[in-house]
A and B are shown apart, each in its own frame.
Chain A
């Protein structure tokens, strides 16, 4: 692999890994806080699936970029500006409806992403994709089941599910934006253009929303941007503080 392709692949794997890592951290917060213990487990499992994807992707990025950093180095010893995840995944945990709206969008995006990356020219990324396709299919189903029940449920659950879809809407465009790293990776056959995933992903979400008697939000008046360049929103610093402080207080500690 030429140094150029290595760096392009590393940069691409890094942002896919960061999306998965940061969302895994948010989903982990639900353990002990979900409506029932069964849902603690479900969201914890989904978070662990994402963490598994993140570990392989970040290890791969650390190997290819020449810095020889491990998955732990990348997760615990990078600062906010070096993380490349989208703003959607770093937003604070809201109510259960918000989480289901966020999961529905994120899993719909990832389902299309990994389905396309199965054919990646990079073996490791193709391998992650092949395994993740089945995992993500389940994540999307889980969110779908809940959006259907809450949307087509009581007046209260319907209002809150609609509010959640509206609240998530400004963060959706960033997922499907053709950022420089994705375009470069697509150029060398490793990645996929995020904009090419929009049609299928958004049609799944609209279909679920309409089945759930919800309205797809109008074009939001603002939208998030900057995550892929390391520009993050306010909650990101707090998330990293919680995720990183033990590793930084005891560098090199092992179980």
Chain B
């Protein structure tokens, strides 16, 4: 008698994915600032994702506006491309506004 070393192939249809789709959540802290990514959550559809985001990410008055985006709709840069994407900007100091005097009372610059 031989003892199988690998588990048998599943027979019959594979069970469908039961969990809800993933959504990315962006919250705007206050007027004048942009929405910032704060995390992700599961929800069955967009209106419920918005409500879940309200419960999970704004329960301590963190925001005045929420965006939710299906995670599958986000195209992200790959870690493999990091060198070619970002390193060339490293030695170009002339792209920074460091040669100007910034008035003291200008915020968010």
Interface string of B45-63 (1 = CB under 8 A from A): 1011001100110010000
Complex Cα distance, B44 from A38, in Å, reads 11
Distance, CA A142 to CA B48, complexed state (A): 9
For B19, the chain A residues whose CB sits under 8 A away are: 36
**Is B42 part of the contact surface with A, judged by Cβ < 8 Å?**
yes
C-alpha gap A12/B91 in the complex (Å): 72
Give every chain A residue within 8 A of B41 (Cβ-Cβ).
38
Q: Is the CB of B51 within 8 A of A142?
A: yes
Q: Is the interface of A mostly helix, strand, loop or mixed?
A: helix
How many B residues, CB 8 Å from partner? 14
How many of A's residues come within 8 Å of B, CB to CB? 11
CA distance A37 to B59 in the complex (A): 15
Contact B47 A145, beta carbon cutoff 8 Å: yes
B44–A149 contact, CB under 8 A? Answer: yes
Q: Quick one: which of B43-96 are within 8 Å of A by CB?
A: 43-45, 47-48, 51-52, 55-56, 59
Q: Which residue of chain B lies nearest to A39 when distances are taken between CB atoms in the complex?
A: B52
Across the two chains, which residue of chain B brings its CB closest to A46? B55
In the complex, A49 Cα to B47 Cα: how many Å?
A: 22
A38 x B59 contact (CB < 8 A): no
Q: Is A41 an interface residue (CB 8 A)?
A: yes
Complex CA distance for A149 and B48, rounded to whole angstroms? 10
- With a cutoff of 8 Å between Cβ atoms, the chain B residues found around residue A149 in the complex are 44-45, 48
Q: Which chain B positions have C-beta within 8 A of A37?
A: 42
Q: Would A45 and B55 count as touching, CB distance under 8 A? A: yes
Candidates A38, A141, A142; contact of B43 at CB < 8 Å: A38
B55 touches A41 (CB 8 A): yes
A42 at the interface (CB under 8 A from B): yes
Q: What are 15 pairs between A and B in contact, CB < 8 Å?
A: A36-B19, A36-B42, A37-B42, A38-B43, A38-B52, A38-B56, A39-B52, A41-B55, A42-B51, A42-B52, A45-B59, A142-B51, A145-B48, A145-B51, A149-B44
